[in-house]
Amino acid sequence: MMGNLPFEYDEFGEWFEVYRKKFLEPARESAARALNEHLDAELPEIERVRVKVSPGRVKGKERTWRKLELPKYADKIKSLEDIPDVIDDLVGLRVTCNNKSDVQRVVDIVRALDSFQVGAEPVLEQQDNSFRDYLKDPKQSGYRAIHVNLCTSVSAGLKRKVITCELQIRTLLQDGWGELTHEDTYKPGSTPPALVETLSRRMADLLAAVDDIAQDLRQELDRLSTVNVETSRGGATTSQAVQAAIAEKPGLRDAVMEHLRNRVTALEKPMDLASLAWEVQRKFGQEVTQGWFGFGNFKSLLKDSVPDVRVTDEPPSYVLPGDYDNSATKKVSPYPGIPSVVLPLRELDRSFPLLSSDRMNAAYRQLAEASQCVNWNDETTNDIARLNEMTRMARELNTEDLAISRTHLDYIAKSLLFSGNLGRPLTEDQIGSIYLTSTLNRLRSVTTVSKRQLDAVKKWLT
């Protein structure tokens, strides 16, 4: 044996089969169910459909044994009972996302889970210091994913036993690479042939490039959705155009408007406007989005359908329940350096960046430097292409101590797009000022902001 284990395979096999049935399988089911429910609660439906949670797996007996024999593990194991403490991926869960921005959303949600404390009996909590970013730093094989350990508890007589589960978060293409290569090339303690390793890494790099294209496509679709939902393509909608559209399809239009009235009345929590528009499109067909019955955009149709609807003005807009009240917002922010007054925006929009002041200013600086390199005079390039180019170049300016994700850079850059300022080189101060104005406008639409709170937000964002 490679690591001088204090037990033989037969003894291990008997123990493993009992442990698997009693603890590992129930933990897999419990963690997968809790993760699905948590993502259901945190993600709007339009994003939830792009995120899939696998049923999970329990590591096989043979593969576990081969891993135990590795010196780095075997030297730590004195008895069979030590195995679950040393091998943290006996239970594995996987979240597969359509694109990289969805991966970031899921990562943000998972990282916001409570941290496991010894003595607790968690439904689903994260294990401290277990986060591993193989997207930023791929393995030598080309493997890319985010790893984090989650803790769940299962029945163990009068008490509950805590089981650690390794969660992998990756894109469809990264998952496809794993399915194509993992079983054939991954063997604990062994190295694949040089040619296999080279081809596997080349395939991973090619799929990573396609992932970047898929991300650009996602952002363009999001932009088009925003235009269709928030703003009119042809300027102000005339009552004549509205009347013509109503006369053409009055039955369908009435059905859509009735659906919106019922949907808004039944809202129990805020819903982003894009998700509501997507829901209507899915229910009534793509054709309803073509001019939205002459109203030009979905927001105008919604306001005409439900005159007393509460919709935030600054994009991305949210529909608020009639009794929505943010006055009970936590007085103390759980995020160091982040004023508690902005938490209502985080509750509405899980993408809203809660970065430290240093990182916010680093983002402004990187975007400003990138904006100097964009060809603003190229009339063949649209706004979203410029935004993508700018955020990509800004990401390349990251420093090790102040790394900003492309998702957060993209979020800040979109405030330039929505405000009509994405058309020329900008300074760090100009970008900070535009983003501050955008944030304050959104904040005022959902809660009351005092002078003291206003100063706190200004101090944070500038």
**DSSP at 59:** P
175 and 57, same domain (yes or no): yes
- Burial (CB < 10 A; 0-12, 13-18, 19+), residue 396, is exposed
20 and 117, same domain (yes or no): yes
304 and 427, same domain (yes or no): no
Q: For the ranges 63-67, 68-72, 242-246, 432-436, which has the lowest average pLDDT?
A: 242-246
193 and 244, same domain (yes or no): no
Closest CA to 360 of 462, 262, 441: 462
Domain boundary at 214, 243, 273, which? 214
> Over the stretch 326-364, which tens digit does the pLDDT of each residue have?
664 555 777 888 998 898 888 778 778 999 999 999 999
52 and 145, same domain (yes or no): yes
> Over the stretch 194-237, which tens digit does the pLDDT of each residue have?
888 888 889 999 999 999 888 877 776 666 666 678 765 444 44
Distance, CA of 207 to CA of 267 (rounded, Å): 40
- Burial (CB < 10 A; 0-12, 13-18, 19+), residue 31, is buried
What is residue 356's predicted lDDT score, i.e. its pLDDT? 92
192 and 299, same domain (yes or no): no
> Over the stretch 396-424, which tens digit does the pLDDT of each residue have?
888 877 778 777 888 899 899 888 888 89
- Mean pLDDT of all residues in the chain? 86
Closest CA to 92 of 169, 153, 160: 169
> Over the stretch 167-183, which tens digit does the pLDDT of each residue have?
999 999 999 998 887 65
Contact 316, 226 (CB under 8 A): yes
237 and 89, same domain (yes or no): no
- Burial (CB < 10 A; 0-12, 13-18, 19+), residue 53, is buried
What is residue 395's predicted lDDT score, i.e. its pLDDT? 83
Contact 252, 288 (CB under 8 A): yes
What is residue 234's predicted lDDT score, i.e. its pLDDT? 43
What value, to the nearest 5°, has the Cα angle with vertex 446 and ends 384 and 346?
Answer: 60
Total number of domains in the chain: 3
Q: Determine if the pTM surpasses 0.75.
A: no
Q: How far is CA 350 from the centre of its chain?
A: 8
33 and 136, same domain (yes or no): yes
What is residue 345's predicted lDDT score, i.e. its pLDDT? 85
* Residue 26 structural domain: 9-214
> Can you point out the beta strands (E) in 276-389?
310-311, 318-320
Q: For the ranges 54-63, 69-78, 386-395, which has the lowest average pLDDT?
A: 386-395
24 and 146, same domain (yes or no): yes
